Amino acid sequence: MRLSHMLFRFTAVGLLILLAACSTYTPPASTPAPVEQPEPEPEPKPKVATPPAKLPQTPPRPATPSASAALQPLLAKAAQATERGEYEQALALLERAQRVDPDSAEVYLGMAQTHQARGNAAQARATAERGLLYCASEAQCNALRAYTR
Amino acid sequence: MFRTSHLLLKLAIFALVVLGLLMIFLDARITSTFSEKMLELSAKVYARPLELFAGAALTPDDLAYELQVLGYRTVSAPRRPGEVSRNRSRFDLYARGFHFPEESEPERLVRVEFDGNRIKDVFTGDKRIDLMRLDPVWLGGIIPRQGEDRVLVELDDVPKVFQQGLIAVEDRSFYQHWGFSIGGIARAIFSNLRSGQVVSGGSTITQQLVKNYYLTSERTLVRKLTEVLMAVLLDLHYEKDQILESYINEVYLGQDGPRAVHGFALAAQHYFGRSLEQLDVHQHALLIGMIKGPSLYNPERNPERALQRRNVVLEVMAVQEVITPEQSAAARAMPLGLNKQQRIQDSFPAFLDLVRRQLPQDYREEDLANRGLSIFTSFDPLLQRQLESSTAAVMDQLDRSGKLQSASVVTRIDTGEVAALVGGRKARYAGFNRALDARRPAGSLLKPAIYLTALERPDEYSLATVLSDTPLTIKAAGAKPWQPQNYDRKAHGDVLLYQALAQSYNLASARLGMQLGVDQVVDTLARLGVEEGVPRMPALLLGAGEYSPLDMARMYQTIAAGGFRMPLRSIRDIVDANGEPLQRYPLEYERTVGLQAVHLLHFALRAVVREGTGHGVYRYLPESFAVAGKTGTTNDGRDSWFAGFSGDLLAVSWIGRDDNGVTGLTGGSGALKVWAHFMARTSKEPLAYRMPDGMQTQWIDDFSGFVTGEGCPNSRMLPFIIGSEPRQRTDCAPRDSDTKDWFKSLFGSNG
């Protein structure tokens, strides 16, 4: 699931860059910006032509390359802490995970789960709602939506 | 006879009682406050630790700078903690390790390899490290009551030679006496009698400390007596080493602009650009010599006198056998060795000011009693450096006279943490902190509150609602009729709602605000986090009131986060001396405005920078990088504002004059430049939120606001809350088209 998810992300970014390239706006003279764009994946993928009326989604941004190697151990530790009932520690770990990858919906999901486990449904809901701004797959979005009802 | 002696006895008893009471009073004063003074000195404030992991967006130069601020020494092969060698994009560093609140980071030899502007790999030996963090930059100490920032040292970190030299020169019998020295006082009295005036203090180190802490500098006998009594009491209650440590951190050693240089650690940085530990003996001697007259022996203003005084100190050090006569002679032959370069002084008074104010009141009283408090903050030295240099670069270009001032606040949009703060053009000097304390009208920076109020009513308003940008007169009870004007003094007729915000039209905005009601806009502002300084009157719609850059950051943080209000935090954790967490400031989201409405507002704020008053940002940023923002200009250009955000950072910048004079700048020609200069060099993520559920896009005729087809004249794509789309349609059928607008380009729909 992660692989296809990544492929989708890269394809989406590729499309974004292609589109940006044919923008009608003329680029300004000098742009000293050190903002780097990830390389688009050349992989061809069946294009899903979504007419605007059918809820086009902003393509999710690419995951920070290999940030997941840094992220996963933190998420695992946080999940264990939540299971042990050590919610403060779990949240501290998740906040650190969020600093490593601020746009990871997984981190938001972990936070929502922890808030829910400690009985703070309002905070679980608000956190999941914010996570929904970052979720990239239907499964991920649905997992977050479960906390918003 | 009997009566006289009786009287004398009475007098003596009376005097003893008075003295006793005085002692009790002074004793109470010392025991109740001295520990606090010492403890306040030891509360340490740290920056955020730099996280290192494969994939981290970090440039090699950023890492080099962080290590430099941390004081890592560049060597050819690191062998001890705190050493680093760099070979282009590869760093070998011996990390110092650190005890963080939750867990400890070990000291270890680490290799960090870069690939362009990202970390490629982090190794220790052959083992890959998933995630590690460097020790955090120490920002200084905090003395809550006095409102100063200092660089503090513990006695263990003060070189022994320095300690011995200090005692040799200032107070030879420090470790023997009871807080005062009879010999010293006798000598002082003798020289005072001889000259007929008070010329010498004869003070011990303990007395000097008492004088600095508690007493004025007047030279009267009563004050002197109080000083001696308090010194004795201090000596009774506290260890010699505690007193010496406090003295080393307290003593006054000159001025740095408006800032008093207190303590040897700060003086070492100020005069030599190095830490006290790194100084040579001749530099130690110079600092010790300055105690006698920080101004008279100031090495920058009076180098010759300072040199003479230093050499006297070096001779005394040799006579007292602190150093050998050979060392003394060699040191005396040295030049002053002042740091002439521009200082990389890790002093961040504006941010420390914020931390101090955010320390909860109860901390100042209760928990400061824990010696060795550590305060972990969200301060980011890398962002701070760029914010300072962007401010300097733009301000030098805009204003050579130095009359204009500037302040900026930077937060991380995901957490609301304040990462960098500039309170004035001279960012490294403590002074008026404009980021927190300059209270100005916000001009059009408040307009998003009007538009958000409207967009939260999808039954009545959408981005395509036609507004009327035509003259109006607003009559309020008891006030003069008010006729707002557009910046260009023209009326623009019918405009779409998003265009009115993008072009910052005052007439359309005031009309919309009056339709919605001022109270409704005040309510929205409160939900966005702005509650103070908001006048409940029509002029609010065009930015009346008093707002600091931090207030505006709070408002835009809520917007940037997607409609979630959160406090702008500078403190993450507070930990006691044993590493036990005293308080954690957890991240909490509170959704206070409609998610969908905020998404629509984001669109309009993106239109500001794509085609409206903020289009100047794309002279700095690459075309493909999505950001959103708003300009603000107040009457006659007294205040120039810009607030905006990308996918990771929010920044609010302000330019104006302290005397509230005219700047000649608009938001777009002033503050925008600081903002964009900074963002172009720091932001790593473009704005790219997923569109919330229950929304869709639609092609709209940009003139009529009617639904139209793709490829039709004046067509453009706008987002809508489902059901809020315009009812009317143009008669144009959709057709294939190559026209792309910036918003459509975000969607992969017809790529």
> Cα distance from A6 to chain B (closest Cα, Å)?
15
* Structure confidence at residue B26 (pLDDT): 84
DSSP assignment string, B171-191: -TTTTTSSSS-HHHHHHHHHH
* Residue B32 is among the residues annotated as catalytic for this protein: no
Establish, for the pair of chains A and B, how many residue pairs have beta carbons separated by less than 8 Å.
212
In order of their start, the domains of chain A are 67-148 (1.25.40.10)
Query: What confidence category does residue B431 fall into, taking pLDDT thresholds of 50, 70 and 90?
Result: confident
Q: How far apart are the first and last CA of chain A?
A: 26
Report chain B residues whose CB lies below 8 A from the CB of A48: 748
* Structure confidence at residue A53 (pLDDT): 36
Report chain A residues whose CB lies below 8 A from the CB of B586: 88, 91, 95
Q: Which DSSP category does B404 fall into?
A: E
- Please state which of the ranges B256-265, B492-501, B725-734 shows the lowest mean pLDDT: B256-265
Query: What confidence category does residue B229 fall into, taking pLDDT thresholds of 50, 70 and 90?
Result: confident
Q: What is the pLDDT of residues B160-213, one digit of tens each?
A: 999 999 999 888 889 988 888 877 777 767 766 665 554 445 688 998 888 887
User: Do residue A18 and residue B681 have CB atoms under 8 angstroms apart?
Assistant: no
- Please state which of the ranges A142-146, B210-214, B422-426, B743-747 shows the lowest mean pLDDT: B743-747
Query: What confidence category does residue A6 fall into, taking pLDDT thresholds of 50, 70 and 90?
Result: very low
| Distance, CA of B347 to chain centre | 10
Query: What confidence category does residue B151 fall into, taking pLDDT thresholds of 50, 70 and 90?
Result: low
Q: What mean pLDDT comes out for the span A114-138?
A: 95
User: Which of B235-239, B401-405, B578-582, B609-613 is the most confident on average?
Assistant: B609-613
Q: Which of A35, A132, A141 to mutate to test the interface with B (most CBs of B within 10 A)?
A: A35
Q: Is B742 on the interface with A (CB under 8 A)?
A: yes
Catalytic residue among B203, B374, B444, B570: B444
Percent of chain B with pLDDT over 70: 89
Cβ(B602)–Cβ(B498) under 8 Å?
no
Q: Is A90 on the interface with B (CB under 8 A)?
A: no
> Which tokens go with B310?
């230093």
> Cα distance from B543 to chain A (closest Cα, Å)?
29
Instruction: Say yes or no to pLDDT of A32 above 50.
Output: no
* Structure confidence at residue B367 (pLDDT): 54
Instruction: Say yes or no to pLDDT of A46 above 50.
Output: no
Q: What mean pLDDT comes out for the span B727-735?
A: 88
User: Do residue A98 and residue B587 have CB atoms under 8 angstroms apart?
Assistant: yes
Q: What mean pLDDT comes out for the span A50-78?
A: 63
> Which tokens go with B420?
């960098």
* Structure confidence at residue B291 (pLDDT): 92
User: Do residue A50 and residue B748 have CB atoms under 8 angstroms apart?
Assistant: yes
Q: What mean pLDDT comes out for the span B111-129?
A: 94
> Which amino acid does the sequence have at B122?
V
* Structure confidence at residue B53 (pLDDT): 96
User: Do residue B54 and residue A70 have CB atoms under 8 angstroms apart?
Assistant: yes
Which of B563, B355, B359 shows the shortest CA–CA distance to B456?
B563
Q: Is B101 on the interface with A (CB under 8 A)?
A: yes
Q: Is B113 on the interface with A (CB under 8 A)?
A: no
Facing residue for A58 by CB, picked from B116, B690, B750: B690
* Structure confidence at residue B627 (pLDDT): 97
Q: Which of B583, B598, B623, B722 to mutate to test the interface with A (most CBs of A within 10 A)?
A: B623
Question: How many Cβ atoms sit within 10 Å of the Cβ of residue A128?
Answer: 26
Q: Is B580 on the interface with A (CB under 8 A)?
A: no
Which of B465, B466, B468, B498 shows the shortest CA–CA distance to B486?
B468
* Structure confidence at residue B248 (pLDDT): 92
* Structure confidence at residue B153 (pLDDT): 80
* Residue B444 is among the residues annotated as catalytic for this protein: yes
User: Which of B7-21, B164-178, B685-699 is the most confident on average?
Assistant: B685-699
Q: How far apart are CA B62 and CA B398, in angstroms?
A: 27
User: Do residue A102 and residue B625 have CB atoms under 8 angstroms apart?
Assistant: no
User: Do residue A52 and residue B747 have CB atoms under 8 angstroms apart?
Assistant: yes
User: Do residue A56 and residue B686 have CB atoms under 8 angstroms apart?
Assistant: no
Q: What is the pLDDT of residues B336-395, one digit of tens each?
A: 888 654 444 457 888 988 988 888 655 655 555 455 678 899 999 999 999 999 999 999
> Cα distance from A20 to chain B (closest Cα, Å)?
6
Catalytic residue among B66, B83, B148, B170: B170
* Structure confidence at residue B259 (pLDDT): 63
Q: What is the pLDDT of residues B273-310, one digit of tens each?
A: 667 887 889 999 999 999 989 989 999 889 999 999 99
Q: How far apart are CA B595 and CA B628, in angstroms?
A: 16
> Which tokens go with A9?
């992300």
* Structure confidence at residue B254 (pLDDT): 86
Query: What confidence category does residue B249 fall into, taking pLDDT thresholds of 50, 70 and 90?
Result: confident
User: Which of A24-38, A53-67, A120-134 is the most confident on average?
Assistant: A120-134
> Which amino acid does the sequence have at A125?
R
Q: What is the pLDDT of residues B504-537, one digit of tens each?
A: 999 999 999 999 999 999 999 999 999 998 999 9
CA closest to A30 among chain B residues: B619
| B396 Cβ contact list (under 8 Å, min separation 6) | none
* Structure confidence at residue B565 (pLDDT): 95
Average pLDDT over chain B, rounded to an integer = 87
DSSP assignment string, B51-96: EE-TT-B--HHHHHHHHHHTTPEE-SS--STTEEEEETTEEEEEE-
Partner A, chain B 284-313, Cβ-Cβ below 8 Å = none
Q: How far apart are CA B617 and CA B599, in angstroms?
A: 21
User: Do residue A60 and residue B690 have CB atoms under 8 angstroms apart?
Assistant: yes
* Structure confidence at residue A16 (pLDDT): 40
Which of B269, B272, B295 shows the shortest CA–CA distance to B150?
B269
Cβ(B270)–Cβ(B256) under 8 Å?
yes
Which of B393, B428, B453, B750 shows the shortest CA–CA distance to B594?
B453
> Cα distance from A107 to chain B (closest Cα, Å)?
12
